[in-house]
Structure 1
Amino acid sequence: MSSPRGEIARDGKDRPHPHPETSRLRSNPRHPAPSKAAPPVRPRVSLKTLLKVTSVAGGIQFGWSLQLSLLTPYVQELGIPHAFASIIWLCGPISGFFVQPLVGLVSDRSTSRFGRRRPFILAGAAFIVVAVLIIGFSADIGYLLGDKVGGGQNKRPMAIVAFVTGFWLLDVANNTIQGPCRALLADLTGKDHRRNRVANAYYSLYMAVGNILGFATGSFNGWYMVFPFTMTHACSESCANLKSAFLLDIIFIIITTFISISAAQEVPLRSRDRTTAISEGSEQSSHAQEAFFWELFGTLRYLPGSVWVILSVTALTWIGWFPYLLFDTDWMGREVYGGDPDEGQLYHKGVSMGAFGLMMQSVVLGITSVLMEKLCRKMGSGILWGISNIIMSLCYVAMLVIAFVLVKTDSLGHGLPPTGAVIAALVVFTVLGMPLAITYSVPYALISARIESLGLGQGKVC
C-alpha cells in the first residue's frame, strides 16, 4: 500500500486542507513548525508486544459473543416480546455514536502519567465487569425488588429494568474500551502501515479466539452445575447457565486486560508536547471552549475522498451485519427449528446449535485473520474488502432460501428439522467468518493509513 503522504505529493491540487491548529502554528513565528524539529525516533514495537497488547480483544469479544448467543433468547424469557428485543439492542449504535468519538478525542489529549489509552481501557474493562454482574443477576435483583416467580408469571418487570440497565451499561463499556484499543495500535505502529495491518490482524485473531471460547461457552448448557450457587428461587437452569457463563467472562476480561495494559508501554503525553504531537494523533482545538460535536463534525471537512468512501462502505456494511449478529441464534431457534422461547425445548436446541455454528464461524474468522496480511498484499486491501462484502450478501440470500424451503416443506414445529437444513444453516454461519474477520480489521487499517499524515487524531477518527 502506498503512503497517503506520497499520494498527496503527486498532485498539489488534491492536497487536503491542513488542520487549522497546524496552520496556525506554522504561520506564527513564535512557534516553529513541527516539521522543522526532528522528532524523537520511536523504537519499533515488536510483534510479540503487539500480540500481548491486542489480547484484550479476546476478553471483549468473549463477552460480546455471549451477548449475541444468549441475551436475545433470555430477554424473551423475562417477558419482553420478540418485536421489542431489537429496540434494546439500539444501545450499541447509539452509545457508539456518542461514546466512541468522545472517548477517542479525550484519549488523544490525555496527559495521564499512565498513558493516553490505557486508563480508558482499564475503565472500560471495569464497567464491563459491573454490567455483566447486573445482567447475570437481573432475575435475582428483580425478585428482591418485588417480582413474582412461578404461578404462570411470564413477565418480571423489575428484572427487565435491571437487565436493560446492565445491558446499556455493557454497551457503553464496550464502546469505551474499543476505541482506545484501536487507537493504541495506531500509536504503537506509527507510520509503519504494514505493521499496523499486522496489529489489526492480531486484534481480529484475538476476536476470533474470544468468539470461539464465548460461543462454545454459550452452546454448553451445564455451566450451572459447575457453579451450583447460581441456581436460586428466581433463577432457573437456563438463567443460572447464563449467570455462570458471565462469571467466566469476568475472569477472562480481567486476565486479558492485565496482559494488554502491562505490555503497552505508553509514553505519557505532557501538556507542553501537545502542539508537537499533532502528527502522532494528539489534536488540540484552537478554541478551548469549542463544543465536542461541533469540533468532531468540523473535522469531517478535512477528510479526503478516499476516507469518505471507507466510512460510507463501513456504514452500509454494518446495516447488513447488525440484524444477523443480533438474531442469528434466535433465527436458528425460530426459523430452522420452528420453536418458541416459551414452548418446549425446540427453540433452546436451535439456540444451542446456532451457538455451535457461531463457534465454527469463529474458527474461520481466526484462520482468515492469520492469513490477512498475505491476502492484503496479494489482492489489495480494498479488493479483499469488496469480495468479502459480496460473500456476506450471498450468505444472507442463502439464509432466506433455507427459511423459505422449510416453510414450503411444512416441516416447522413437527419435531427436529431436516438434517440437510441444519447443515446448510451451519455452513452459512461458518462461511460468514471470513467476511467478518475482514470487516473487523481491514477498514481500520485503511483509515489509519490515510489519516496519519493529516494530524486529525487517531483516537477520534478510528
Structure 2
Amino acid sequence: MALGNILGYATGAYSGWYWIFPFTVTPSCSISCANLKSAFLLDIIILVITTYITVASVQEPQSFGGDEAEHPGTEQEAFLWELFGSFRYFTLPVWMVLIVTALTWIGWFPFILFDTDWMGREIYRGSPDNPEATQSYHDGVRMGSFGLMLNSVLLGFTSVVLEKLCRKWGAGLVWGVSNILMALCFVAMLVITYVAKNMDYPPSGVPPTGIVIASLVVFTILGAPLAITYSIPYAMAASRVENLGLGQGLAMGILNLAIVIPQVIVSLGSGPWDQLFGGGNAPAFAVAAGASFIGGLVAILGLPRARIGSSRRRGGAHNR
C-alpha cells in the first residue's frame, strides 16, 4: 500500500505528463487539465492490467451448486440481522475499539478531503475559481501531492517497525500516542494557516520557503499515525470479536461501520461547518484535532496495553 501510494502521489506531483501524452492538451484543456487527464489515463491502464492479472491468476471455488440451488434458503441467516444483532454480545473492550476508530476517522477525513486543497488555497493563496490565481492553486496541489508522497514513505517505514512498537509499548498505547500526534499535526496546520495568512508574500506570489517546508514536514509526520490507523484497529477488532465467537469477517463489517458513519458525517457537515466560520479549511481541521486528541485519550485510558510477546506466552490473555 505504501509503495502504491508513493507512486500514485508522485504521479500527481509531476507536472510534465502533457509532454508524454501531448494529445491530452486541447483548446479546452490547459496544461494542468492535461496533467490530470494523463494521471487518470495511467490509472485506467494500471487498473485494467491488475484486474486482468487478478482474474486470470486467482482460482476461486464456486460457492453455488446444485444442492444450494435446490435449497436456497436453508440455514442462511439475514446478514443485516446478524450484523446488528451481534451488538448485544459486545464487551467493553470491543466498544472501546469502535469508539476510538470512529474518533480517529473523524480526525482523518477532513485531512483526506482537504489536504491538497489546503496547500493550494491557504499556503499558495490560489483559487480554482479565479483565473488569475488558478496556476498558484495548481502549484499548491502538486506540492501537496509531493507532501503526501513523503507521507507514504514514512507510512511504509512505520509499517516495518510497527510490530516492534506494539511488542514494547502495547497496541493500545501505540494507537493512543499516534492519535495525539495526529492532533498535534492538525494544530500545527492551523498555526501554519494563521502565519501564512498574516505574512507578506513576494510579488511573484510564491509562498516563503519556510512555510512550504513546515507544511511538508507536517504532511510527512502524519504518515506514522496513518500506518497505525491502517493496521492496529483491524487487528484489535478481529481478536476481540473472534474471542466472542462472532467471526473475523463480521468483525471487519462492524469496524467498517465505525469508519463509514464518521465519513458520512464529515462529508455532509464539513462544508457547512467551514462556511459557518467564513470559509477556509481551518474549522474542519480544528474538529479533526479535537476528535483525534479525544480518541488518543480514550485509547490510552480505555484499551488494554498487553504486549504482543507477553500475550502470546499467556495463551492469548490480551483478549480479555
- Deviation readout 1:412-441 (Å, 9 max, x if unpaired): 986211111111111000000000011011
Gap change, CA 1:316 and 1:402, over 3 Å in 2: same
Gap change, CA 1:455 and 1:395, over 3 Å in 2: same
> C-alpha distance in 2, partners of 1:251/1:435?
31
User: 2:204 matched to 1:417?
Assistant: no
> C-alpha distance in 1, partners of 2:29/2:192?
35
> C-alpha distance in 1, partners of 2:74/2:170?
35
Whether the 8 Å CA contact 2:18–2:24 is kept in 1: the answer is yes
Determine the structure 1 residue equivalent to 2:172.
Answer: 382
Whether the 8 Å CA contact 2:9–2:146 is kept in 1: the answer is yes
Determine the structure 1 residue equivalent to 2:300.
Answer: none
Partner residue of 1:312 out of 96, 99, 102: 99
User: 2:113 matched to 1:326?
Assistant: yes
> C-alpha distance in 2, partners of 1:208/1:460?
26
- Aligned pairs for 1:43-442 within 5 A: 207-257=1-51, 288=77, 290=78, 292-341=79-128, 342=130, 343-344=132-133, 345-411=135-201, 415-442=205-232
Whether the 8 Å CA contact 2:159–2:228 is kept in 1: the answer is yes
What is the root-mean-square deviation of aligned Cα atoms in Å? 2.8
- Deviation readout 1:227-274 (Å, 9 max, x if unpaired): 223234443322222121112122333444555667766666578999
> C-alpha distance in 2, partners of 1:432/1:412?
29
> C-alpha distance in 2, partners of 1:271/1:384?
47
> C-alpha distance in 2, partners of 1:413/1:399?
24
Helix, strand or coil for the counterpart of 1:235?
A: coil
Whether the 8 Å CA contact 1:337–1:412 is kept in 2: the answer is no
> C-alpha distance in 1, partners of 2:54/2:221?
30
> C-alpha distance in 2, partners of 1:371/1:256?
29
Unaligned segments of structure 1, at least 5 residues = 1-206, 275-283
> C-alpha distance in 1, partners of 2:147/2:74?
47
1:332 maps to amino acid:
M
1:250 maps to amino acid:
I
Unaligned segments of structure 2, at least 5 residues = 253-320
- Identity level (%): 62
Question: What TM-score comes out, normalization by structure 1 length?
Answer: 0.48
Determine the structure 1 residue equivalent to 2:244.
Answer: 454
2:158 maps to amino acid:
T
- Deviation readout 1:265-320 (Å, 9 max, x if unpaired): 6666578999xxxxxxxxx99675x4x53432112112222111111101111111
Whether the 8 Å CA contact 1:361–1:433 is kept in 2: the answer is yes
